[in-house]
Structure 1
């Protein structure tokens, strides 16, 4: 008797696919790597820039329209109120008499004076911003002096508007130890002279220099050097058409007023500042006739 044939049984095991976990982690990881790269790039840029470059960047991104004061006078209304009731007298008045002509004139004059006092800071700031824009435009019209952009700083101050011609590492505005300006300095002054001539402000020219490093010898007296450079700038502007009565002062400050007090040896401390003063120019004698 023969054995029965055993059937061959083949088992096929199906492997279940792994669950899909999604790719959100990849996006998060890519954002993290990008942020870290940007952070290290920022740290590298900060370590490579000089102190004056950091200050220049900070001034570039600083808002100029924000009032530095936290008082009510620095707000939208410059300290004025919306009340239109006018000034009130503490002295008793007969109601039957009513206001006199003198009272009306006094109140009108008082109102005009108050309006001038209130609007003066806003008008002055607007005039300064307009002067800054005009001076920058005059320099932009001369592409041949574009390389001097770091040597020229135009900024508003409490006195008015400052135009500073300052030295930088590798590029100076005056010959070393001399009161004679370089030709590039003369071109800058010639570029801004027509704008200065059109503006009504009186001018103050001030020379500054950097402090001498300990142990170094200084051949020229810093007071004579800075005063001579300020006089040279005034002379160039005068030849360019600015009358003598537009200058209120021409002085030298030596190294007493550095731009960077924490490092008075830096080259930008060597500069000549032309200040457009906020005060109005004097009226000519013919105006009183």
Structure 2
């Protein structure tokens, strides 16, 4: 008689749900990582990208061949030093997007405004840690870019000697300004608290000395001295109420004004003989 083989019933696995649960948790984790990564947007770079794309799709090309303006300086730390790099990329990196004439000027006021916007965004990105601490403010218009720096970051009270933090900030700004051709005005401002010392008889002298200190430093950083001007306004152009401590802190500042290549009617000084 043949033996009946005992059929072994397969035992049901009651823990299969663990595999599906683990897959679900992994996908959920990946989802939140992606959501976090796309939520961290650099506003300055996004603004530059948006303006560049708008310009590319809405405006016709004015020149078939990009013109490289000036000589692109390369240092040991310049990542664009490879031979054969695109002249258009080099030009826009140094000068901002736009179409340039042979003399380095822009074809239109629209190009100039776009270039200044690009420049403001670049400086804003570089100085973002200081902007978040309310030590620096970067603004721009169609004719200029203004970098307002609070005196508490730049100078000790009643002094025109630059602090270490000021040297670092101005070194970073100078790396952007060095290859440009724009005229630069460094303007010093104080609050309305009177000062009377042998070195600074009034706020005029203090504000002018602070502006001159910034001019001397960025000139040593390689910015052409012929492009620089130091101006002291003292307490006479406040941006806040001097009646409060917070207002006085806002008024104590140094403004670095980058004038547009087409001139700035609001800040160009006209001499008595009509020259500028």
Alpha-carbon shift at residue 185 of structure 1 (Å): 0.8
Q: Distance in 2 between matches of 1:174 and 1:161?
A: 23
Paired residue for 1:256? 236
1:137-286 equivalences in 2 (<5 Å): 137-140=125-128, 146=130, 149-157=133-141, 159-167=143-151, 171-212=152-193, 219=197, 220=200, 221-247=202-228, 249-261=229-241, 263=243, 265-280=247-262
1:66-85 equivalences in 2 (<5 Å): none
Q: Distance in 2 between matches of 1:196 and 1:217?
A: 33
SS in 2 for 1:131: helix
Q: Distance in 2 between matches of 1:179 and 1:239?
A: 17
Deviations along 1:160-191, whole A, 9 cap, x unmatched? 00011114xxx442111011111111110011
Deviations along 1:133-170, whole A, 9 cap, x unmatched? 22123335xxxx65874111110146400011114xxx
TM-score (norm 2): 0.50
Structure 1 unpaired stretches of 5+: 1-59, 65-75, 78-118, 282-289
Alpha-carbon shift at residue 222 of structure 1 (Å): 0.3
Deviations along 1:74-130, whole A, 9 cap, x unmatched? xx99xxxxxxxxxxxxxxxxxxxxxxxxxxxxxxxxxxxxxxxxx733222201111
Structure 2 unpaired stretches of 5+: 1-42, 48-57, 60-106, 264-276
TM-score (norm 1): 0.48
Q: Distance in 1 between matches of 2:159 and 2:196?
A: 12
User: Are the structure 2 counterparts of residues 121 and 217 from structure 1 closer, same or farther at C-alpha, using a change threshold of 3 Å?
Assistant: closer
Q: Distance in 2 between matches of 1:258 and 1:157?
A: 20
